[in-house]
């Protein structure tokens, strides 16, 4: 990735809502990239550090309780917990890696996972605990593989966020659309947007333009091959991709998207909460936010399964726990990461926050299947999200080769085409050329 949410929507960090920034600098000098992976000794003992990302103070009691229970189970082990802000998190990881000071167990987003995993600083947990793969929901374990590394997995999946569809039922109906028959493909989604634009008279829009949020997810769902079979070059320059750009350009001109959303990130929660946009963010956490901040719009909010297109699958946005490759206490670090990510602990966490277990046993808890009376959007969102996760697969996740730099290069060309500054076919060709140059440059490092 930077692998992001399946449709690249802005996913808020659990406690503060700030996305991790991308660290463009490479690692050199110190660090553990060339270190040999530690070996298990069979003794769960020693003092390990555990770093999380902005969980204090909202989840202090929960995390400390998990730590206390682990130390009671393994009295020879001690866990030192440190919680750090989201701002500059990747930069801090770089600095710690260079200084050889990475924590033994570290909370990683897909961005920071790539940052450390690509540079050989994380232990191969498939080698340590390969049998655990079957304990996670489909796609979660595979989320932390790296190209060219075979079946190696470099982090334990922790909490996950599935993609769902949220929309304003009243505005949907005003466009002559059936709210009980939401779109299931990208093409149908665009068809709905066109109807909404025609009916709105400019009073509201259908969805945010945000090409960086839509790609490569939309293309994947349309069956467009993002990478070659060997995953060594981008291959999205196809007629289908051109059709996507042409459709976006047409919808943009017709007012299906807020004009300003093409070039900058507007507050979609505010726009949806004020009735200015029909489709909200595809996140269950968003539904909870609308319930708290815009109750009138919440009463009109409907929830459905995510647009899946030809894949028939959704992707997942996952947080994970990585193990420092050369930790002095591998057994304690690995056992603690397993402890944090087990079914009961993940269910308890999910009851306190709008997240889901990556652990399949945890996801099977009745809490996630309860739809209540079928009328409350938040309850339905939780159940729909859980149901989606049962079939979530890697297909719709952003590949690791699609870095922030690649995404930015593609988006620049898409923006020009959507605004009419260049033709769609040229935009797709130039985007692929730019993406492949970046991919080749990264391979030479």
Sign of CA dihedral 401, 406, 410, 411: positive
- Rounded mean pLDDT of 301-312? 86
Specify the pLDDT at position 374.
80
Of residues 294 and 4, the one with the higher pLDDT is 294
Tokens encoding 7: 């449709």
Burial of 343 (0-12, 13-18, 19+ CB in 10 A): middle
Q: What is the pLDDT of residues 146-185, one digit of tens each?
A: 877 888 999 999 998 888 999 999 999 999 999 999 999 9
pLDDT higher for 250 or 113?
250
In this prediction, residue 95 carries a pLDDT of 86
pLDDT value of residue 313: 67
Question: To the nearest 5 percent, what fractions of the chain are helix, strand and coil?
Answer: 45, 15, 45
Query: What percent of the chain has a predicted confidence (pLDDT) above 90?
Result: 57
> Do 153 and 144 touch, CB atoms closer than 8 A?
yes
- Residue 18 pLDDT more than 70? no
The two structure tokens encoding residue 12: 């808020």
Of residues 134 and 110, the one with the higher pLDDT is 134
Name the one residue in this structure whose structure tokens are 């939401």: 182
Give the pLDDT confidence score for residue 183 in this predicted structure.
Answer: 96
Q: How far apart, in whole angstroms, are the C-alpha atoms of residue 105 and residue 210?
A: 35
Can you give the pLDDT at residue 174? 96
Q: E-assigned strands of 23-104?
A: 46-53, 77-84
pLDDT in tens, 115-145: 888 888 899 999 998 888 888 887 788 888 8
Torsion of CA 325, 60, 344, 103, to 10 degrees: 0
Q: Give residue 264's pLDDT.
A: 73
- Asked whether residue 278 carries a pLDDT value surpassing 50, the answer given is yes
Strand locations in 212-266, DSSP E?
none
Token pair listed for 79 = 């866990």
Q: Is the pLDDT of residue 265 over 80?
A: no
CA 176 centroid distance within chain: 33
Closest CA to 33 of 324, 331, 392: 324
d(CA 121, CA 180): 48
> What's 318's DSSP letter?
E
pTM of the predicted structure, to 2 decimals:
0.81
Q: What is the pLDDT of residue 24?
A: 34
CA separation, residue 277 to residues 184, 193, 210, 295, 298 (Å): 19, 10, 14, 16, 13
Question: How many helices and strands, by DSSP H and E, does the chain display?
Answer: 18, 8
Average pLDDT over residues 44-58: 95
Report pLDDT digits (tens) over 390-431: 765 544 567 778 888 999 999 999 999 999 999 999 999 999
Comparing 160 with 6, the larger pLDDT belongs to 160
**pLDDT above 80 (res 4):** no
What phi, psi does 427 have (nearest 5°)?
-60, -45
Q: For position 91, what pLDDT does the model report?
A: 84
pLDDT above 70 (res 220): yes
Q: Residue 213's pLDDT band (boundaries 50, 70, 90)?
A: confident
Work out the average pLDDT over 329-354.
94
Residue % of the chain over a pLDDT of 70: 89
Q: What was the pLDDT predicted at 266? A: 64
């Amino acid at each position: 990735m930077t692998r992001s949410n399946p449709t690249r929507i802005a996913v808020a960090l659990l406690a503060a809502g700030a996305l991790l920034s991308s660290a463009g600098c490479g690692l050199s000098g110190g660090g553990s990239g060339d270190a040999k992976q530690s070996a298990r000794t069979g003794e769960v003992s020693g003092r390990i550090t555990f770093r999380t990302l902005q969980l204090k103070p909202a989840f202090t009691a929960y995390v400390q309780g998990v730590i206390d229970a682990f130390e009671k189970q393994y009295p020879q082990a001690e866990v030192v917990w440190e919680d750090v802000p989201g701002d500059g998190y990747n930069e801090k990881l770089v600095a710690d890696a260079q200084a050889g000071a990475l924590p033994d167990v570290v909370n990683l987003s897909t961005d920071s996972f790539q940052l450390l995993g690509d540079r050989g600083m994380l232990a191969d947990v498939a080698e340590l605990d390969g049998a655990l793969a079957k304990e996670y929901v489909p796609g979660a374990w595979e989320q932390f593989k790296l190209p060219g590394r075979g079946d190696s997995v470099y982090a334990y999946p922790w909490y996950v966020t599935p993609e769902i569809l949220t929309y304003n039922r009243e505005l949907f109906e005003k466009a002559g659309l059936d709210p009980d028959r939401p779109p299931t493909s990208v093409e149908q989604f665009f068809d709905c947007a066109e109807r909404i634009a025609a009916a709105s008279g400019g009073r509201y829009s259908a969805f945010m333009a945000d090409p960086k949020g839509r790609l490569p997810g939309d293309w994947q769902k349309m069956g467009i091959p993002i990478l070659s079979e060997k995953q060594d070059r981008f291959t999205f320059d196809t007629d289908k991709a051109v059709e996507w750009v042409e459709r976006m350009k047409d919808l943009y001109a017709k007012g299906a998207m807020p004009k300003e959303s093409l070039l900058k990130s507007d507050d979609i929660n505010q726009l949806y909460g004020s009735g200015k946009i029909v489709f909200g963010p595809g996140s269950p956490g968003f539904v909870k936010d609308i319930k708290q901040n815009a109750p009138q719009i919440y009463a009109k909010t409907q929830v459905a399964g995510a647009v899946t297109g030809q894949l028939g699958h959704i992707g997942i946005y996952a947080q994970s726990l990585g193990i420092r490759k050369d930790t002095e206490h591998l057994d304690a670090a690995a056992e603690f990461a397993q402890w944090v990510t087990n079914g009961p602990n993940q269910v308890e966490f999910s009851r306190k926050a709008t997240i889901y277990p990556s652990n399949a046993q945890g996801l099977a808890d009745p809490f996630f299947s309860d739809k209540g009376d079928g009328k409350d959007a938040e309850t339905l969102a939780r159940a729909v999200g859980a149901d989606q996760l049962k079939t979530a697969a890697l297909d719709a996740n952003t590949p690791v080769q699609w870095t922030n730099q690649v995404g930015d290069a593609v988006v620049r060309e898409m923006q020009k085409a959507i605004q009419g500054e260049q033709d769609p076919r040229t935009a797709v060709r130039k985007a692929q050329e730019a993406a492949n140059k970046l991919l080749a440059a990264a391979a030479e490092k």
